[in-house]
């Protein structure tokens, strides 16, 4: 499969190049040249397949030309050692719990898949030995933990997680500072945007790139975002088992729009979804685009659903490209919603009082969008993107009820924190990397 850039000014790339480089030379995002349809037989039998079986079929359609069957199967089966169950919240609204991975974030699937695919290419390219690939990732919390845990112990890859000092929650910090081995946490004296700028500067620095191989692991990378399509096939299969899949509406709480983009790729492969809803917090750039046809990035606003605080969603370019830039095609399929912190809190309180289900602030946007937007006969599934214990203090304060911390999360908190202090200064960061 060839991958082109959404900016159309860079040469076509192989999957290997797209995964190792992340971004195209013209700063565009890579898109597969074709999206293969899955046959009717697949959808007729999907309810009888395991999550791993159906995901392997989806992965084959995307990656089957570039990765041999046995290796791809191993990558998919290793990645999906956990399930994403669909749980009824009301008669017509279901929570797709995406937080059953090792760090309790939906980003675990993409991170694990990318780590294994990258390792496959490194080993194939170099007969099993060669120069280490260095993954740089800036994080405000969840991306760092998912990527660090996804890549932990993977030979040939070293991960540097840059995070803003004092600005990630203690639970999140433990999830990437206690691992050791091939994971180095770098505590930057600055804010998230400073971390992001250090990473961007590193990718553009010729001397540094001659010294070491660098790649990125956020949702601009095709290997990070595409595997998230697996979730939506799994949701469909589960609803089909319940006889509820005929008018399925998928609602995705969105920030950088990688997750919903993967769901849209699933739809393009034939997954029967009636329509989509992108749920936003107060960062309403995509919502405004749907209303007006104009895409106007803004500085991000801080909200309760902080993993969605994005003012210029990177995967918007992919969505636009997928529908030939047509606002009409996009608005026929994708609907929008936007919620203030006050509305998010009200939703969490009300949902807990009425149903007993504990939403995290991100999932709350998804649930509310379905509650307001679902039409008669439709069944809605929203992505519950994080375990509520990840935002324990906020959730407990809002719903006035204890949230238990799962064992897996508590285990991270018993580890010893190790991080490299770093001033907010590219020269210092570069010199640190040059000396590695
Ligand atoms: C990353 C994240 C999101 C946003 O996902 P995108 O793919 O960037 O749209 C939503 N909720 C949580 C909890 C996240 O960690």
Digit-coded pLDDT (tens) for 375-424: 999 999 999 999 999 899 999 999 999 999 998 888 888 889 999 999 99
Tokens found for residue 433: 């990397």
pLDDT-wise least confident of 47-56, 93-102, 134-143, 367-376: 134-143
Q: Classify residue 67 as exposed, middle or buried by CB count within 10 Å of its CB (0-12, 13-18, 19+).
A: buried
pLDDT-wise least confident of 67-71, 130-134, 185-189: 130-134
Q: In this predicted structure, what is the pLDDT of residue 409?
A: 85
Cα distances from 166 to residues 103, 170, 381, 402, in angstroms, run 20, 9, 35, 25
Cα 205 to middle of ligand 1, angstroms? 29
Distance CA 151, CA 122 (A): 14
- In this predicted structure, the answer to whether residue 218 has a pLDDT above a threshold of 70 is yes
Q: What's CA 430's distance to the chain center, in Å?
A: 28
The band of 70, judged by pLDDT with boundaries at 50, 70 and 90, is: very high
The band of 172, judged by pLDDT with boundaries at 50, 70 and 90, is: confident
Helices 341-355, 392-399: inter-axial angle, 10-degree rounding: 70
Q: In this predicted structure, what is the pLDDT of residue 141?
A: 75
Q: In this predicted structure, what is the pLDDT of residue 129?
A: 62
Q: In this predicted structure, what is the pLDDT of residue 81?
A: 93
Which residues, in sequence order, are bridge partners of residue 163? 187
From 255, 281, 317, 367, give the residue whose CB has the most ligand 1 atoms within 8 Å, as the site to mutate.
Answer: 255
Per-residue pLDDT tens digits for 318-373:
999 999 999 999 999 999 999 999 999 999 999 999 999 999 999 999 999 999 99
Residue 140 beta carbon below 6 angstroms from any ligand 1 atom? no
Told to judge if 107 belongs to the known catalytic residues of this protein, a careful annotator would answer yes
The band of 300, judged by pLDDT with boundaries at 50, 70 and 90, is: confident
Cα 38 to middle of ligand 1, angstroms? 27
Q: List all residues 6 or more positions away from 247 whose beta carbon is below 8 Å from its beta carbon.
A: 274, 377, 378, 379
Do residues 203 and 429 touch, judged by C-beta distance below 8 A?
Answer: no
DSSP state of 414: T
Q: What secondary structure does DSSP assign to 206-220, as a single string?
A: HHHHHHSEEEE-STT
- In this predicted structure, the answer to whether residue 127 has a pLDDT above a threshold of 60 is no
Using DSSP's 3-state secondary structure scheme, residue 224 falls into: helix
- In this predicted structure, the answer to whether residue 65 has a pLDDT above a threshold of 80 is yes
Q: Classify residue 71 as exposed, middle or buried by CB count within 10 Å of its CB (0-12, 13-18, 19+).
A: middle
In the chain, % of residues over pLDDT 90 = 83
Residue 255 beta carbon below 6 angstroms from any ligand 1 atom? yes
Alpha helix (H) ranges present in 80-140? 107-126
Q: In this predicted structure, what is the pLDDT of residue 227?
A: 97
Mean pLDDT, range 275-287, rounded to an integer = 98
Which residues, in sequence order, are bridge partners of residue 159? 135, 183
Per-residue pLDDT tens digits for 419-436:
999 999 999 999 999 999
From 100, 109, 142, give the residue whose CB has the most ligand 1 atoms within 8 Å, as the site to mutate.
Answer: 142
Q: In this predicted structure, what is the pLDDT of residue 21?
A: 85
Q: State the catalytic residue, choosing from 17, 21, 73, 107.
A: 107
Tokens found for residue 128: 């099993």
Nearest to 183 by CA among 196, 174, 171, 194: 174
Using DSSP's 3-state secondary structure scheme, residue 328 falls into: helix
Nearest to 98 by CA among 359, 280, 394: 359
Q: In this predicted structure, what is the pLDDT of residue 128?
A: 52
Q: Is the pTM of this model over 0.85?
A: yes
User: Which helix (H) or strand (E) covers residue 70, if one does?
Assistant: helix 69-79
Question: Which is the closest atom of ligand 1 to the Cα of 142?
Answer: 15
Per-residue pLDDT tens digits for 25-54:
898 999 999 999 999 999 999 999 999 999
Helices 258-268, 229-241: inter-axial angle, 10-degree rounding: 60
- In this predicted structure, the answer to whether residue 126 has a pLDDT above a threshold of 80 is no
Q: List all residues 6 or more positions away from 102 whose beta carbon is below 8 Å from its beta carbon.
A: 82, 108, 112, 149, 150, 408
Q: In this predicted structure, what is the pLDDT of residue 378?
A: 98
Residue 263 beta carbon below 6 angstroms from any ligand 1 atom? no
Residue 142 beta carbon below 6 angstroms from any ligand 1 atom? yes
């Amino acid at each position: 499969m060839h991958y082109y850039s959404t900016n159309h000014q860079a040469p076509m790339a192989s999957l290997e190049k797209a995964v190792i480089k992340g971004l195209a030379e013209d700063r565009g995002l890579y898109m597969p040249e074709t999206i293969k349809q899955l046959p009717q037989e697949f959808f007729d039998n999907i309810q009888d397949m395991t999550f791993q079986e159906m995901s392997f079929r989806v992965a084959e359609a995307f990656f089957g030309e570039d990765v041999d069957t046995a290796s791809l199967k191993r990558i998919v089966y290793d990645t999906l050692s956990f399930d994403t169950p669909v749980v009824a919240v009301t008669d017509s609204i279901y929570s797709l719990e995406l937080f059953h991975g090792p760090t309790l974030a939906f980003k675990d699937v993409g991170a694990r898949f990318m780590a294994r695919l990258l390792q496959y290419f490194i080993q194939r390219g170099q007969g099993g030995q060669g120069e280490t690939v260095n993954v740089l990732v800036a994080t405000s919390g969840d991306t760092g933990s998912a990527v660090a845990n996804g890549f932990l112990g993977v030979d040939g890859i070293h991960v540097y997680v840059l995070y803003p000092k004092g600005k990630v929650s203690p639970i999140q910090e433990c999830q990437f500072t206690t691992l050791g081995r091939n994971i180095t946490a770098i505590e930057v004296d600055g804010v998230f945007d400073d971390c992001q700028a250090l990473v961007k500067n590193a990718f553009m620095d010729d001397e540094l790139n001659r010294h070491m191989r660098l790649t990125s692991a956020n949702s601009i990378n095709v290997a990070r975002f595409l595997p998230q399509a697996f979730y939506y096939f799994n949701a469909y299969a589960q609803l089909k088992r319940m006889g509820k899949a005929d008018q399925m509406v998928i609602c995705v709480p969105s920030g950088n729009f990688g997750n919903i983009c993967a769901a849209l790729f699933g739809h393009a492969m034939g997954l029967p979804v009636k329509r989509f809803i992108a749920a936003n917090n107060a960062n309403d750039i995509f919502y405004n685009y749907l209303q007006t046809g104009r895409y106007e990035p803004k500085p991000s606003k801080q909200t309760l659903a902080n993993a969605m605080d994005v003012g210029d969603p990177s995967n918007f370019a992919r969505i636009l490209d997928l529908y030939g830039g047509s606002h009409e095609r996009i608005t026929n399929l994708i609907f929008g919603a936007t919620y203030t912190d006050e509305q998010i809190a009200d939703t969490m309180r009300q949902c807990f009082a009425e149903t007993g289900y504990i939403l995290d602030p991100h999932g709350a946007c998804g649930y509310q969008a379905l509650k307001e937007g679902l039409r008669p006969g439709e069944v809605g599934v929203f992505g519950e993107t994080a375990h509520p214990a990840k935002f324990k203090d906020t959730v407990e304060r809002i719903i006035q009820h204890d949230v238990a911390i799962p064992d897996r999360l508590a285990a991270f908190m018993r580890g010893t924190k190790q991080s490299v202090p770093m001033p907010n200064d590219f020269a210092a960061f570069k010199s640190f990397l040059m000396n590695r």
